[in-house]
Structure 1
Amino acid sequence: MQIQVNTVKNVDTTPEWLASLEEQLTSSLARFRDGITRLEVHLRDANGDKSGAVDKECMLEARLAGRDPVAVIHKADRFERAVSGARDKLVRLLSRQVARQRPPKGQDPFEAVLT
């Protein structure tokens, strides 16, 4: 899984923070790593230099193998919280999609192949 981080010019990040971000995302999405070809992280500060209550935004866009990409957005007062919220939303979304692909309980998944 390739992780690409995009920021606007008014967002200051350090290489250590970006490495920590990539490590957190990789470990959180480990069970989906075979299905995700690329994960794009978009960080944005809506107010720029001004302060605000909920002005930091993180959008995570997961490019899935053989399927349409999915995206989630979370806003918070700090980038760490925005990333954490968006990560949790993405895990829930991908979990629901995987659950929908499983056959219903009591149904043999190989039965359709054999008939």
Structure 2
Amino acid sequence: MNIQKEISMHIEVSTDNSIEGSEALNSLIRGLVVSELARLDYHLTRIEVHLSKARSASTGQEEMHCVIEGRLKGRKPVVANDTATTLEKAAKGAAGKLKSSLDSTLGKLSDNR
């Protein structure tokens, strides 16, 4: 029997006008975010994910960009971003960076107690 913990944080995914948002894309991105940040769920109230597409100044190729903002209970938001060749890689990279940043912030808070 597979029992999954219910996630209480609100996850909102938005795209710029160069990316067609869909329920499949939203579901994929939410899944990536939850897999990276699930253990921090108690501390988070909201996650905002912003996806965009841009041309690289150095290569001229399209790059996918992801900015993730995590809102900790009673604290200012923490932001992380990543750029990659796919939206999935950019979101996973940004979520990993956010997790590291949140771990650091929460570690400092617990050290001050």
Task: Provide TM-score, normalisation by structure 1.
Answer: 0.78
2:50 is the counterpart of 1:35 = no
1:24-46 Cα offsets, whole Å, 9 max, x none, are: 21232111111111100000111
Q: Is the 8 A contact 1:52 1:77 kept in 2?
A: no
The structure in which a higher percent of residues are strand is 2
2:99 is the counterpart of 1:91 = yes
Aligned to 1:100: 108
Cα 1:84–1:68 change in 2 (3 A) is same
- Paired residue for 1:9, among 9, 17, 40? 17
Count of aligned pairs: 101
Aligned to 1:82: 90
What is the distance in 2 between the residues matched to 1:103 and 1:97?
A: 10
2:69 is the counterpart of 1:61 = yes
**SS of match in other structure, 1:34:** helix
Instruction: Give percent identity, aligned residues only.
Output: 31
- Name the aligned partner's letter for residue 20 of structure 2: D
Q: Which runs of 5+ in 1 are unaligned?
A: 110-115
CA RMSD of superposed structures (Å)? 1.8
Q: Which runs of 5+ in 2 are unaligned?
A: 1-8
Cα 1:103–1:10 change in 2 (3 A) is closer
Task: Provide TM-score, normalisation by structure 2.
Answer: 0.80
